[in-house]
Chains A and B, each alone.
Chain A
Amino acid sequence: MTIFSTLLPIDTALGVVVCWLLLGLTGLLLQNTALITRYIFPAGALAALLLAAAALNNLGGDSNVAVLALGLPDLPFHLRLDALSAFFLLLLGAASVGISLYSAGYFRDMKGGALGLLCFEYHIFLASMALVFMADDAYLFMVAWETMALSSYFLVTTDHHVAQARRAGFLYLLIAHVGAIAILLSFGVMQGGQGDYTFASMRDAQLNAFWASVTFLLALFGFGAKAGILPLHAWLPEAHPAAPSPISAMMSGIMLKTAIYGILRVSFDLLDAPQWWWGALALTLGLLTALYGVLFAAVQTDMKRLLAYSSIENIGVILTGIGLAIIFHSFQKEALAALALTAALYHSFNHAFMKGLLFLGTGSVLHATGERNLGRLGGLIHRMPKLALLVLVGTLALAGLPPLNGFVSEWLLLQAFLLSPGLPHSYLNMLIPIAAAALALAAALAGYVMVKFYGVIFLGQPRGSDVVGQKPFDEVHDVGIWERIGLTWLALGCILLGVFPVFFILLIDFVSQMLVGHTLGVSAAQTGWLWLTPIQPERASYSPLILFVIIIAGVLFTLYGVKKFYHARLRRSPAWDCGYPEQTARMQDTAEGFGQPIRQIFQLFFGITREVPGPFDKKPHYHGETSDRLWEWCYLPIARLTDKISALTGKLQHGRIHAYLLYSFVTLLALLAFVR
């Protein structure tokens, strides 16, 4: 035990990183499907559990630092484990336990060589994310950040023989690099000309208001590119469907949070004294992102694209919380800042669990049916009841329904909005109620999206009569044991986070204490762990456990009633077919049909192309597509401009050696004449 008492949590965390790297290498060398799925992925999950334990252990403790003798000469890697890092490491560890366990089952059919490579990239990805959270200088941060981007790029292009996956990977890498440049510039400005790139010296650097704003804007842009904040979201709906499902879960659930971590680290920790308009900007961007994401999620027909857009929405919600926290912090309303920050952190954690769960769920559906298109699924609850139950938990959580976790964080955020009047700024006082309304709209639409997601996949009947996706309906099997363990872990997380929020908020308090110097815990603990009261009991409080018990009781009571009074007289017969003599499974509401009202109401946002059959067509054919307007407004002009400039530059290239020599000759002469 003496060894453990001298071992700092940061050493444990570093040990986990090394362990992941070794596991990845072992997988690469083994190239054996059975060994990798049976031993390596579960071992990775065990390491993740250890990381979560170390992070939990250190959340309330002092921050520990370490200096690694790696890196360049005279430029070692600095590491630091403080409350903010520990919180995100906890998120990483806890969520990746479920995903790694699930992977152990999910990849069982993959070829050994490809799986070895995937296992390697997967564990590198995990290790680099852990290092991003622990980095204490810009150098290590950027190294880890880029490693993360590259490893995830290779994971996205696992199916590299599919052109679409390659395209998605390229788009992802492009936006990730543009973002990384902005982050690098941001660090460059932040160190204030001292030439010392440790975070400690950035905390000390005195920046004036202008340069501090430049830093913040660059960081927001750079991290926004990774998080998928409008208008840099374009890679998300491409990359998530292209990647294997556990990878999508990892990227959406955990990797997007590295960007959230970056924004928090820069705006609260490295830069002191944030300005209120930074918060207003983040708030506006967050709301736009949330609304945009949820609207597009509502009209998707591919289940993984739908979830990707939903991730954009959730990132928007988190950013809204951060924006609000910055506003309050800049006006010295620390209690409210702590509330908004708690909501944002809570939602980050929740999103890792619920979006991880749902992406894994779609992975199982994809595995069982070979189909991603919602239009060809349906009725899967009959063939995959266990999966359906677990996914239902995630769906309800993401829809923001009590007593699950999604409700807690959105409720906290709305509380922060409702308590905000009284800011010494009249425009802000007008803006914030509107923002609250927009947030409520996004939350409601998220519920709509989730009804569509669950209803179209699991309820009703298979749409291709007896065929679902590419398999006969009768041959679809439920998920295996490893997958079920992984899914259950995440679903349990969703339930526990929803039912016992006070305990978790006590953990978040360490982070808010560090960032804004105030906590929520005092007021939350006043009324005991049963009731969650963000500010005062007389204003608002919520007891998820009691609600949970009531809901369970209600459900059981109804079930009992139905069994007792109704099932006795149950008989199955053809539906009352008056007017519907030939009702088939294809007459069910489709994913497109379900999204139709949203498409009508918010027509302005969508670029819609439709082919509608005429009344006399012998073979009527309908085709509709909803595209992202921002793509043609933002991305295509830039692409065309780049193309034009490249074409101009291309003219320099004749293929004639003499011309090339002449170029260098003229350059040499010009430079010589210049330095003269």
Chain B
Amino acid sequence: MLNFAGQLINLFAAMLLLISFAMLSQRRVLSLINLFALQGLVLAVSTMVVAYSSSQHHLYYSAGLTLLLKVLVLPWILHRLIRKLNVKWDVETMFNIPTTMLVGIVLVVFAFNLAAPISQMAGTITRGTLGIAMACVLLSFLMMITRSKAVPQVIGFLAMENGLFFAATSTSYGMPMVVELGIALDVLIGMFILGIFFFQIRETFDSLDLKHMEKLKED
């Protein structure tokens, strides 16, 4: 049974990594949001599997919270936002995608290399997935760097939080409930604030392209 759960968790971890790569290469904003929601779903399910197999009951709450926030609420807000901002069908690239993917692979190797000594020390069932969790964080970060529009950057930021959450689950069966609740609230509030910023940015620059913000620099 445990072995099967372990296999299942590894599978979900692999799916997370795959979705991260997909997000990295996805140009369209709408699909990006859907991928983000999918990532949240995978995260929630894998957390539930971890909770079941290690009988850590508080992880059920975490999984529920993830499901509610990252699969339902945040994607819904993002959808509404892009509809209102009228950027639903926006396409954007900064670097060409193959290069980005290659850099992503290097990052994954780096992350695994980094995680190896830590996962040896960890006694959890999910220890093998720490490398993947870190890779997810780094890939999301990379996504933020390579995108020029505001909405994908915010999605990158949220995806990074997904990676962190996964890392916490895989090393130590999640963070204390208080911390998790705090982070969830932060993410939600952050989303609201960024949503307001989107409108402000568009009003000022007539575009959500962040390269216009260079004008703000003082000489």
Chain A residues packing against B (C-beta within 8 Å): 653-658, 661-662, 665, 668-669, 672-673, 676
Question: 1/0 contact trace for B122-159 toward A, CB 8 Å?
Answer: 00000000000000001001101110100001000000
Cβ B148 vs Cβ A658 within 8 A? yes
Q: Are A665 and B141 in contact (CB under 8 A)?
A: yes
When the two chains form the complex, which single residue of A654, A656, A657, A669 contacts B110, counting CB atoms closer than 8 Å? A669
**A655 lies within 8 A of B144 (CB):** no
The reply on B94 being an interface residue by CB < 8 A is yes
> Bound state CA distance, A657 and B212, in angstroms?
10
Residues of A within 8 A of B117 (CB): 676
**Shortest Cβ distance from B147 into A: residue:** A658
Determine the chain B residues whose CB is within 8 A of the CB of A676 once the complex forms.
Answer: 113-114, 117
The answer on a CB contact under 8 Å between A657 and B210 is yes
- A contact residues around B216 at 8 Å (CB): 655
Is residue B217 contacting chain A, with contact meaning CB distance below 8 A? yes
Q: A662 contacts B217, CB within 8 Å?
A: no
Given A669-B110, A672-B114, A676-B114, does the pair A661, B213 have CB atoms closer than 8 Å?
no
Q: Say how far A658's CB is from chain B's closest CB, in angstroms.
A: 5
| Given the contacts A661-B141, A668-B141, A655 and B215 also touching, CB distance less than 8 Å | yes
B residues less than 8 Å from A656 (CB atoms): 210-211, 213-214
- Are B217 and A654 in contact (CB-based, < 8 A)? yes
Q: Which residue of B lies closest to A658 (CB)?
A: B145
Given contacts A658-B145, A661-B145, A662-B145, contact A653 B217 (CB under 8 A): yes
- Contact partners of A653 in chain B: CB under 8 A: 217
Main secondary structure of the interface of A (DSSP, over half): helix
Which A residues touch B153, using CB under 8 A? 657
Chain B residue numbers with a CB within 8 Å of A665 are 138, 141-142, 145
* Interface of chain B residues 19 through 42 with chain A (CB within 8 A): none
Is B110 within 8 A of A655, CB to CB?
no
- For A669, the chain B residues whose CB sits under 8 A away are 110, 138
Q: Is the CB of B210 within 8 A of A658?
A: yes
Assess the B114–A655 pair: CB atoms within 8 A: no
9 interchain residue pairs of minimum CB distance? A655-B217, A655-B214, A661-B145, A657-B210, A665-B141, A662-B145, A661-B144, A658-B145, A672-B114
Apart from A661-B141, A661-B144, A672-B110, what are 14 other A-B pairs with CB-CB below 8 Å? Answer: A654-B214, A654-B217, A655-B213, A655-B215, A655-B216, A655-B217, A656-B213, A657-B213, A658-B145, A658-B146, A661-B145, A662-B145, A665-B138, A676-B113
Residues of A within 8 A of B142 (CB): 665
A668 to B146, CA, bound (A): 17
Inter-chain contacts of B141 with A (CB < 8 A): 661, 665, 668
Residue of A nearest to B94 (CB): A658
* A663 CB → nearest B CB, Å: 10
CA distance A669 to B148 in the complex (A): 22
Closest to B219 in A: A650
Q: Which residues of A contact B210 (CB under 8 A)?
A: 656-658
A662 CA / B147 CA spacing, docked (Å): 12
Interface residues on B, range: 20 to 34
For B138, what are the chain A residues with a Cβ–Cβ distance below 8 Å? 665, 669
Measured in the bound complex, the distance between the Cα atoms of B131 and A676 in whole Å is 13
Complex interface: chain A residues within 8 A of B146 (CB)? 658
What's the nearest-Cβ distance from chain A to residue B108, in Å? 13
- B145–chain A nearest beta-carbon distance, Å: 5
Q: Which of A654, A661, A668, A673 has the most CB of B within 10 A?
A: A661
Q: Nearest chain A CB to B58's CB is how many angstroms away?
A: 29
> For window 164-219 of chain B, which residues contact chain A by CB distance below 8 Å?
210-211, 213-217
Central interface residue in B141, B145, B211, by most chain A CB within 10 Å: B145
Q: Which residue of B lies closest to A662 (CB)?
A: B145
**Cα of A669 to Cα of B111 in the assembled complex, Å:** 9
17 A-B pairs with C-beta separation under 8 A: A654-B217, A655-B215, A655-B216, A655-B217, A656-B211, A658-B145, A658-B148, A658-B210, A661-B141, A661-B145, A665-B138, A665-B141, A665-B142, A669-B110, A669-B138, A673-B110, A676-B113
Cβ contacts under 8 Å, A657 to chain B: 153, 210, 213
Q: Which of A658, A665, A672 has the most CB of B within 10 A?
A: A658
Chain B residues lying within 8 Å of A661, measured Cβ to Cβ, are: 141, 144-145
Minimum distance in angstroms from B201 CB to a CB of chain A? 11
Most buried by B among A657, A662, A672, A676: A657
Which chain A positions have C-beta within 8 A of B145?
A: 658, 661-662, 665
List chain A residues, Cβ under 8 A from B110. 669, 672-673
Quick one: closest A residue to B212, CB to CB?
A655
CA distance A672 to B141 in the complex (A): 14
Q: Please, which residues of chain A bring their CB within 8 A of the CB of B217?
A: 653-655
Bound form: Cα–Cα A395–B144 in Å: 71
- How far does the Cβ of B144 sit from chain A's closest Cβ, in whole Å? 5
A224–B117 alpha-carbon span in the complex (Å)? 53
With A and B bound together, what is the CA distance between A233 and B213 in angstroms? 44
Q: Please, how many angstroms separate the alpha-carbon atoms of A636 and B29 in the complex? A: 54
Smallest CB separation, B133 vs chain A (Å): 13
**Cβ distance B30 to chain A, nearest Cβ, rounded Å:** 22
Q: Write the nearest CB–CB distance from B52 to chain A, whole angstroms.
A: 32
Chain A's nearest CB lies how many Å from the CB of B184?
Answer: 23
In the complex, what distance in Å separates the CA atom of A657 from the CA atom of B217?
Answer: 11
Determine the distance from Cα of A606 to Cα of B144 in the docked complex, in whole angstroms: 59
Tell me the complex Cα distance, A37–B37, Å: 69
Chain A residues with Cβ below 8 Å from B211 are 656
Query: How many Å lie between the Cα of A669 and that of B215 in the bound state?
Result: 29
What chain A residues lie within 8 Å of B148 (beta carbons)?
658
- Chain B residues near A654 (CB-CB < 8 A): 214, 217
The chain A residue with its CB closest to the CB of B146 is A658
B164 to chain A, nearest CB (A): 13
Question: Closest residue to A653 on the B side, CB-wise?
Answer: B217
Q: Which residue of B lies closest to A660 (CB)?
A: B145
Q: What are the residues of chain A within 8 A of B94 when measuring CB–CB?
A: 658
Give the distance in Å from the alpha carbon of A661 to the alpha carbon of B148 in the complex.
12
Distance of A669 Cα from B106 Cα, bound (Å): 12
B210 to chain A, nearest CB (A): 5
Smallest CB–CB gap between B109 and chain A, Å?
A: 12
Provide the bound-state CA to CA distance between A656 and B215, in Å.
Answer: 9
CA distance A656 to B212 in the complex (A): 8
In this complex, what residue of A is CB-closest to B144?
A: A661
Chain A nearest CB from B159 CB (Å) reads 14
Instruction: Give 1 or 0 for each of B92-118: 1 = CB within 8 Å of chain A CB.
Output: 001000000000000000100110010
CB of A239 to closest CB in B, whole Å: 29
Q: Closest chain B residue to A665 by CB distance? A: B141
Q: How far is the CA of A393 from the CA of B210 in the complex (A)?
A: 70
In the bound complex, residues from chain B placing their C-beta under 8 Å from that of A672 are 110, 114
Taken together as a complex, chains A and B put the C-alpha atoms of A672 and B130 apart, in Å, by: 14
B155 to chain A, nearest CB (A): 14
The CA-CA distance from A672 to B113 in the complex, in Å, is: 11
Q: Which residues of the other chain, B, contact A655 by a CB distance below 8 angstroms?
A: 213-217
Chain B hits for A662, CB < 8 A: 145
Closest residue of chain B to A666, judged by CB? Answer: B145
- Given the complex of chains A and B, what is the CA–CA distance between A41 and B144 in angstroms? 60
CA distance in complex: A672, B128 (Å): 19
Q: How far is the CA of A661 from the CA of B216 in the complex (A)?
A: 17
**In the assembly, what is the distance between CA of A239 and CA of B33, in Å?**
60
How far is it, in angstroms, between the C-alpha of A661 and the C-alpha of B138 when the chains are bound? 12
- Please measure, in the bound complex, the distance between the C-alpha atom of A676 and the C-alpha atom of B113, giving whole angstroms: 9
**Which residues of the other chain, A, contact B114 by a CB distance below 8 angstroms?**
672-673, 676
Q: How far is the CA of A400 from the CA of B107 in the complex (A)?
A: 77
A673→B109 CA distance, assembly (Å): 12
